[in-house]
């Protein structure tokens, strides 16, 4: 599901696996391939979405700046937005 954050930005470092990452305000809104060793900055308020494209788990180390606001506030931090990548539910028709 695509989201955007209200109060912080994130830095992602990909530990393993391969996937795709979409950010509305980056790379002309085109998804990019990500893999182990890549890092991505997600600016405050930028819509983004990602998905695993491999059989191996896509493992990501994520730093939020400032810190995640806590369990209750965190539920309202990530706002759903329209994305471009097909979601798991949308791919079920292929199985």
The secondary element (H helix, E strand) that includes residue 71 is helix 71-74
b/e string for 15-53 if b means 16 or more Cβ within 10 A?
eebbbbbbbbebeeeebeebeeeeebebeeebbbbbbee
pLDDT band with cut points at 50, 70 and 90 for residue 74:
low
Fold of 3-52+64-94: Jelly Rolls (2.60.120)
Residue 36 DSSP label: T
9-62 tens-digit pLDDT: 999 999 999 999 999 998 889 999 999 999 999 999 999 999 999 999 999 999
Q: What's the confidence (pLDDT) of residue 89?
A: 56
Q: State the Cα–Cα distance between residues 41 and 57, nearest whole angstrom.
A: 21
For the cut 50, the answer to whether the pLDDT of residue 70 exceeds it is: yes
Domain boundaries, the chain: 3-52+64-94
Residue 87 DSSP label: P
Q: What's the confidence (pLDDT) of residue 88?
A: 55
């Amino acid at each position: 599901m695509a989201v955007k954050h209200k109060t912080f930005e994130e830095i992602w470092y990909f530990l393993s696996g391969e996937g795709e990452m979409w950010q509305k305000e980056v790379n002309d809104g085109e998804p990019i391939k990500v893999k182990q060793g890549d890092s991505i900055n997600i600016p405050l308020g930028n819509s983004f979405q990602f998905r695993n494209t491999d059989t191996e788990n896509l493992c990501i180390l994520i730093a939020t700046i400032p810190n995640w606001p806590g369990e209750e506030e965190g539920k309202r931090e990530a706002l759903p937005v329209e994305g471009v990548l097909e979601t798991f539910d949308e791919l079920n028709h292929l199985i």
